[in-house]
Amino acid sequence: MTNSNVALLDCTLRDGGYVNDWKFGQNTMVNVFERLSSANVDYIEVGFLDQRRPFDPDRSIMPDTANAGLIYKNLDKRRSEAVAMIDYGTCDITHIQPQAESFLDGIRVIFKKHIMREALAFCKELKQLGYKIFTQAVSITSYSDGELRALVELVNDVKPFAVSIVDTYGLLHKNKLLHYYEVMNAHLDEQTGIGYHSHNNFQLGYANCIELAGRHAASKRLLLLDGSIFGMGKGAGNAPTELLAMYMNDHQSRRRYDISQMLEAIDVSILEIFRQSPWGYSMKFFIAASNDCHPEYVSYLLEKRTLSVKSINEVLKAIGKEHKLLFNKGYIEHLYIDYQMNTCNDAADYAALSAQLSNKKILIIGPGVSVNTEVGSIEKYIKEQNPVAIAINFIPEKFGVKYLFLTNSKRYVRQATQINRLGGSIKTIATSNVTKSAGQFDYSLDYETLIDRSAVFMDNSFIMLMKAMVKLGVTEVALAGFDGYSCSREANYYSSEMEYQSARQKSAEINADVNKNLQELKKMMAIKFITGTLYEAG
């Protein structure tokens, strides 16, 4: 079955710019454009128009249409048309030349539904300047049928070249996509095309495109499919242009696409960017899409490095519908704290632990690099002082410990089998946010009473245990493996599995918080570091 009313739009130089802050380099931008025009692609998106950004000939984000012409001047568009995108509100009409004076043939305008009236009025102004106008309804999954009908009414008044279904977060499956298409197709002015812009969170970008093309086969209306070469794009990326071209060569007769030109562009211009900053399907984007939420919520919770994936899913399920697609850091922090606050009555456990520890010398072992590099110092202290050893969130291989303090669900899950194999030779002390896979921990302490809400890491396990030691009546603590955080040191943890980026980025702030707490704790107990540390209290 062939369909002459399906066209291909490549958005590599615009959507792909989220990967590298649009700094492709002018030679790469020109090469990509020339390859795509030689490949006979119908529409080539050359970048963003954004008056907040100064002109840089090496970036595909430009303050106005005149600067777009400076980058791509004298290029032969052949049968292709050049378009650019405006995120409504970031580039006003004074930055737009009449189309007759511009390199651009069309302008795409993206907008969220709460400003669709203002955005469509802006589109009408752009149309009066002579451009083909593409209206882009972002986060289409946030629209109810009634809201979609309201959008179509506004679009019919403007009569743009096309209106697009934009699956910003890659949430659409086939049936929902086809439903949006049918609503638009039934009520949209017959001269207005329908576009589809996919994202690959569910690996459905290409599949959805060909499904939509199949449904559109009998229609006379233009269908516009977005792609990017090698799928380059925001987050999980887009439907690959070269795959869409391959399908369209076999199933439609509008024009023939030269895929070898696209592959040349990938090889020469795109693969090196991918090696440096890869995009595409990942667990992060799958989790976000499966919970119908903004990917930054997932990033925020993953960066905590305290929650298992199961727990992250449970937090995400608690996000209210009105917050799902608009990232709110304060809101997700509140949900995170609420989830962690699995309160417990810990009086009996504190009493039992106090009876065992209050009159003992305590050695607390952390997971810093020094547990490997200063083994002799730790062994010497253990031999001379015979302390009760407590490890935090890991079981040391070289030193016997009597207690394991657990505050981190993720790290507990990774060593749960090892804990079970030890058969009770190590007693477990867990804060109430950590749940055991089977049975109960030996001791449970209330999470909320040990955290510091004002700290960079409010649930710093080291400080939480030190606070617990004070409550237990411990008066003397030796510390090993608490090296402090550094952005320049090769490693902050003895094991690469425990490393996380935010510890490097916020090392000075974390160290300052720990130092502040240690100064207060030293008023209540003797504290001695027996391995090297960056903490001032050492």
pLDDT in tens, 235-262: 899 999 999 999 999 987 678 999 999 9
**487 vs 374 pLDDT, higher one:** 374
Q: Which two tokens stand for residue 412?
A: 């507990």
What is residue 12's predicted lDDT score, i.e. its pLDDT? 98
**Do residues 445 and 468 touch, judged by C-beta distance below 8 A?**
yes
What is residue 507's predicted lDDT score, i.e. its pLDDT? 79
**Do residues 500 and 303 touch, judged by C-beta distance below 8 A?**
yes
Return d(Cα 533, Cα 184) in angstroms, integer: 63
For range 288-316, the mean pLDDT: 87
Q: Residue type for 389, please?
A: A
**Do residues 537 and 519 touch, judged by C-beta distance below 8 A?**
yes
Place of tokens 């999980």: 236
Name the average pLDDT for the chain: 91
Return d(Cα 91, Cα 110) in angstroms, integer: 12
Please name which of 375, 390, 356 lies closest in space to residue 478, comparing C-alpha atoms.
390
Please name which of 53, 66, 60, 67 lies closest in space to residue 33, comparing C-alpha atoms.
60
What is residue 501's predicted lDDT score, i.e. its pLDDT? 52
Interval 346-369: pLDDT, tens: 999 999 999 999 989 999 999 888
2: pLDDT confidence band, cut at 50, 70 and 90?
A: very low
Interval 453-508: pLDDT, tens: 888 778 899 999 999 999 999 999 999 999 888 765 555 554 545 445 555 567 78
Interval 136-188: pLDDT, tens: 999 999 999 999 999 999 999 999 999 999 999 899 999 999 999 999 999 99
CA 12 to chain centroid, in Å, comes to: 20
Global model pTM greater than 0.75? no
For range 321-350, the mean pLDDT: 88
Backbone φ and ψ of 396, nearest 5°: -60, 140
What is residue 491's predicted lDDT score, i.e. its pLDDT? 57
Q: Mapped to the 3 state alphabet, what secondary structure does 238-296 carry? A: CCEHHHHHHHHHHHCCCCCCCHHHHHHHHHHHHHHHHHHCCCCCCHHHHHHHHCCCCHH
The sheet carrying 362-365 orders its strands as: 443-445, 427-431, 403-406, 388-392, 362-365, 476-480, 526-529
Interval 97-107: pLDDT, tens: 999 999 999 99
What is residue 45's predicted lDDT score, i.e. its pLDDT? 98
For range 394-422, the mean pLDDT: 87
Between the ranges 158-162, 216-220, 288-292, 487-491, where is the mean pLDDT highest?
158-162
Please name which of 242, 480, 268 lies closest in space to residue 361, comparing C-alpha atoms.
480
For residues 54-82, one letter each, b for 16 or more C-beta atoms within 10 angstroms of the residue's C-beta and e for the rest, the string is eeeeebbbbbbbebbbebbeebeeeebbb
Return d(Cα 43, Cα 11) in angstroms, integer: 9
Q: Which two tokens stand for residue 397?
A: 């291989």
